[in-house]
Protein backbone atom coordinates (compact mmCIF):
# COMPACT_ATOMS: atom_id res chain seq x y z
CA UNK A 1 0.00 0.00 0.00
CA UNK A 2 1.32 3.43 -0.89
CA UNK A 3 1.89 5.72 2.07
CA UNK A 4 2.24 9.50 2.21
CA UNK A 5 5.36 11.27 3.35
CA UNK A 6 4.82 15.03 3.67
CA UNK A 7 7.73 17.46 3.82
CA UNK A 8 7.47 21.10 4.88
CA UNK A 9 10.50 22.90 3.39
CA UNK A 10 11.41 26.51 4.05
CA UNK A 11 12.88 28.52 1.14
CA UNK A 12 13.70 32.23 0.71
CA UNK A 13 11.31 32.63 -2.24
CA UNK A 14 8.85 30.76 -4.44
CA UNK A 15 11.65 29.87 -6.78
CA UNK A 16 13.21 26.44 -6.34
CA UNK A 17 15.71 26.49 -3.49
CA UNK A 18 18.54 24.14 -2.65
CA UNK A 19 17.46 21.24 -0.48
CA UNK A 20 20.88 21.08 1.17
CA UNK A 21 20.54 20.85 4.92
CA UNK A 22 19.26 18.70 7.72
CA UNK A 23 15.57 17.83 7.66
CA UNK A 24 13.71 16.19 10.51
CA UNK A 25 10.31 14.79 11.39
CA UNK A 26 8.87 13.45 14.60
CA UNK A 27 5.75 11.36 15.03
CA UNK A 28 4.17 10.88 18.45
CA UNK A 29 2.22 7.72 19.28
CA UNK A 30 1.18 8.56 22.84
CA UNK A 31 0.44 6.81 25.06
CA UNK A 32 -2.84 8.60 25.69
CA UNK A 33 -3.34 7.18 29.17
CA UNK A 34 -1.44 9.32 31.68
CA UNK A 35 -2.11 11.76 34.50
CA UNK A 36 -3.95 11.31 37.79
CA UNK A 37 -4.81 7.75 38.78
CA UNK A 38 -7.54 7.40 41.41
CA UNK A 39 -8.65 4.23 43.15
CA UNK A 40 -11.95 4.49 44.97
CA UNK A 41 -13.37 1.34 46.48
CA UNK A 42 -13.11 -1.37 43.84
CA UNK A 43 -12.76 0.97 40.82
CA UNK A 44 -9.78 2.70 39.26
CA UNK A 45 -10.05 5.81 37.07
CA UNK A 46 -7.46 7.44 34.83
CA UNK A 47 -7.69 9.61 31.70
CA UNK A 48 -11.43 9.04 31.41
CA UNK A 49 -11.05 5.26 31.64
CA UNK A 50 -12.33 3.02 34.40
CA UNK A 51 -11.56 -0.57 35.44
CA UNK A 52 -12.34 -2.92 38.33
CA UNK A 53 -9.61 -3.26 40.95
CA UNK A 54 -8.49 -6.55 42.46
CA UNK A 55 -7.18 -6.46 46.05
CA UNK A 56 -5.55 -9.65 47.29
CA UNK A 57 -3.97 -9.14 50.70
CA UNK A 58 -1.67 -6.15 50.23
CA UNK A 59 -1.56 -6.59 46.43
CA UNK A 60 -3.52 -4.14 44.24
CA UNK A 61 -3.93 -4.73 40.51
CA UNK A 62 -6.12 -3.71 37.59
CA UNK A 63 -5.97 -3.60 33.80
CA UNK A 64 -7.70 -1.26 31.38
CA UNK A 65 -9.71 -2.74 28.54
CA UNK A 66 -8.19 -2.71 25.07
CA UNK A 67 -4.69 -3.20 26.43
CA UNK A 68 -4.32 0.50 27.25
CA UNK A 69 -2.36 -0.13 30.41
CA UNK A 70 -2.26 -1.91 33.74
CA UNK A 71 -1.24 -1.29 37.34
CA UNK A 72 0.44 -3.55 39.86
CA UNK A 73 1.11 -2.31 43.37
CA UNK A 74 1.54 -3.20 47.02
CA UNK A 75 -0.04 -1.44 49.99
CA UNK A 76 2.59 -0.02 52.33
CA UNK A 77 0.91 1.90 55.14
CA UNK A 78 -0.63 5.06 53.71
CA UNK A 79 0.82 4.44 50.25
CA UNK A 80 0.50 2.01 47.40
CA UNK A 81 3.88 1.48 45.78
CA UNK A 82 3.63 0.08 42.30
CA UNK A 83 4.26 0.31 38.58
CA UNK A 84 2.24 1.40 35.58
CA UNK A 85 2.65 -1.00 32.65
CA UNK A 86 2.02 0.87 29.43
CA UNK A 87 1.12 -0.73 26.08
CA UNK A 88 3.88 -1.96 23.80
CA UNK A 89 5.59 0.99 22.17
CA UNK A 90 5.36 1.50 18.42
CA UNK A 91 8.99 2.55 18.09
CA UNK A 92 10.41 -0.49 19.88
CA UNK A 93 7.62 -2.97 20.47
CA UNK A 94 8.38 -3.31 24.20
CA UNK A 95 6.27 -2.85 27.32
CA UNK A 96 7.63 -0.42 29.90
CA UNK A 97 6.86 -0.21 33.62
CA UNK A 98 7.21 3.17 35.33
CA UNK A 99 7.05 3.64 39.11
CA UNK A 100 3.84 5.05 40.60
CA UNK A 101 3.12 6.02 44.21
CA UNK A 102 -0.50 6.33 45.29
CA UNK A 103 -1.21 8.22 48.51
CA UNK A 104 -4.18 7.57 50.74
CA UNK A 105 -6.81 10.29 50.37
CA UNK A 106 -10.32 10.74 51.69
CA UNK A 107 -12.31 7.98 50.04
CA UNK A 108 -9.44 6.29 48.26
CA UNK A 109 -5.96 6.59 46.76
CA UNK A 110 -4.44 8.93 44.16
CA UNK A 111 -1.16 9.48 42.34
CA UNK A 112 0.41 10.44 39.03
CA UNK A 113 1.10 8.13 36.09
CA UNK A 114 3.92 9.31 33.83
CA UNK A 115 4.53 6.74 31.08
CA UNK A 116 7.48 6.85 28.72
CA UNK A 117 6.69 8.87 25.59
CA UNK A 118 6.34 6.73 22.48
CA UNK A 119 7.68 8.58 19.46
CA UNK A 120 9.79 8.12 16.36
CA UNK A 121 12.14 10.67 14.79
CA UNK A 122 13.47 10.72 11.25
CA UNK A 123 16.44 12.81 10.10
CA UNK A 124 17.15 13.34 6.41
CA UNK A 125 20.52 15.02 5.78
CA UNK A 126 20.81 16.24 2.16
CA UNK A 127 23.99 17.43 0.48
CA UNK A 128 23.89 17.90 -3.26
CA UNK A 129 22.13 14.81 -4.55
CA UNK A 130 23.25 12.65 -1.61
CA UNK A 131 20.79 11.83 1.15
CA UNK A 132 20.12 9.21 3.78
CA UNK A 133 17.68 8.54 6.59
CA UNK A 134 18.69 8.38 10.24
CA UNK A 135 16.43 7.17 13.04
CA UNK A 136 17.88 7.22 16.58
CA UNK A 137 15.13 5.08 18.14
CA UNK A 138 15.17 1.97 15.93
CA UNK A 139 17.71 2.66 13.20
CA UNK A 140 15.05 2.10 10.54
CA UNK A 141 17.16 4.16 8.15
CA UNK A 142 19.14 0.95 7.70
CA UNK A 143 16.05 -0.70 6.22
CA UNK A 144 14.71 2.34 4.31
CA UNK A 145 17.83 2.66 2.23
CA UNK A 146 17.70 6.22 0.93
CA UNK A 147 20.95 6.96 -0.92
CA UNK A 148 20.27 10.07 -3.00
CA UNK A 149 17.61 12.45 -4.31
CA UNK A 150 16.59 13.21 -7.87
CA UNK A 151 14.82 16.46 -8.79
CA UNK A 152 13.02 16.91 -12.11
CA UNK A 153 11.18 20.19 -12.32
CA UNK A 154 8.52 20.05 -9.64
CA UNK A 155 9.09 16.34 -9.00
CA UNK A 156 11.39 14.92 -6.34
CA UNK A 157 12.36 11.32 -5.70
CA UNK A 158 14.26 9.59 -2.93
CA UNK A 159 16.26 6.70 -4.39
CA UNK A 160 18.16 3.77 -2.96
CA UNK A 161 21.56 2.51 -4.13
CA UNK A 162 19.94 0.57 -6.98
CA UNK A 163 17.99 3.65 -8.10
CA UNK A 164 14.72 2.14 -6.90
CA UNK A 165 12.26 4.81 -5.79
CA UNK A 166 11.75 4.90 -2.02
CA UNK A 167 9.52 7.98 -2.12
CA UNK A 168 8.36 10.50 -4.69
CA UNK A 169 6.12 13.52 -4.86
CA UNK A 170 5.29 16.95 -6.26
CA UNK A 171 6.11 20.42 -4.95
CA UNK A 172 3.08 22.32 -3.71
CA UNK A 173 3.91 25.99 -3.11
CA UNK A 174 1.69 27.59 -0.53
CA UNK A 175 3.11 30.92 0.60
CA UNK A 176 6.45 32.70 0.17
CA UNK A 177 9.19 31.13 2.26
CA UNK A 178 7.12 27.96 2.68
CA UNK A 179 7.17 25.02 0.32
CA UNK A 180 5.16 21.87 0.86
CA UNK A 181 6.23 18.68 -0.84
CA UNK A 182 4.19 15.48 -0.69
CA UNK A 183 5.97 12.20 -1.25
CA UNK A 184 4.27 8.85 -1.75
CA UNK A 185 6.51 6.31 -0.04
CA UNK A 186 6.63 2.62 -0.86
CA UNK A 187 8.27 1.90 2.48
CA UNK A 188 6.65 1.68 5.96
CA UNK A 189 6.60 4.73 8.15
CA UNK A 190 3.40 6.57 7.32
CA UNK A 191 2.88 10.28 6.92
CA UNK A 192 5.74 12.58 7.88
CA UNK A 193 6.22 16.36 8.02
CA UNK A 194 9.90 17.21 7.67
CA UNK A 195 11.21 20.67 8.47
CA UNK A 196 14.66 22.12 7.96
CA UNK A 197 16.76 22.00 11.11
CA UNK A 198 20.01 23.26 9.59
CA UNK A 199 20.82 25.30 6.53
CA UNK A 200 23.84 23.19 5.65
CA UNK A 201 25.01 19.66 6.32
CA UNK A 202 28.12 19.63 8.49
Instruction: Say how far apart CA 195 and CA 79 lie, in whole Å.
Output: 46
10-residue averages of pLDDT along the chain (202 residues): 37 51 82 96 96 97 96 97 93 88 95 92 85 79 82 79 79 40 41 61 40
Choose among 26, 27, 51: nearest CA to 37: 51
CATH architecture of 3-29+119-198: Beta Barrel (2.40)
| pLDDT value at residue 94 | 84
Q: What is the pTM of this model?
A: 0.64
| pLDDT value at residue 10 | 35
| pLDDT value at residue 126 | 84
Q: What are the residue ranges spanned by the domains of the chain?
A: 3-29+119-198, 35-113
| pLDDT value at residue 189 | 45
Instruction: Say how far apart CA 192 and CA 4 lie, in whole Å.
Output: 7
| pLDDT value at residue 27 | 80
| pLDDT value at residue 177 | 32
| pLDDT value at residue 28 | 82
Amino acid sequence: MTRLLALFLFAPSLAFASLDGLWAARRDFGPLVRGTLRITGDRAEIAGRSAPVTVDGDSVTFALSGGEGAFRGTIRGKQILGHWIQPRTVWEGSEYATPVTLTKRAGGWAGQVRPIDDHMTLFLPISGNSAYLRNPERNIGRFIAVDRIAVDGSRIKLLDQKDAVVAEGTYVYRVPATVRRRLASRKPGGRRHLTRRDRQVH
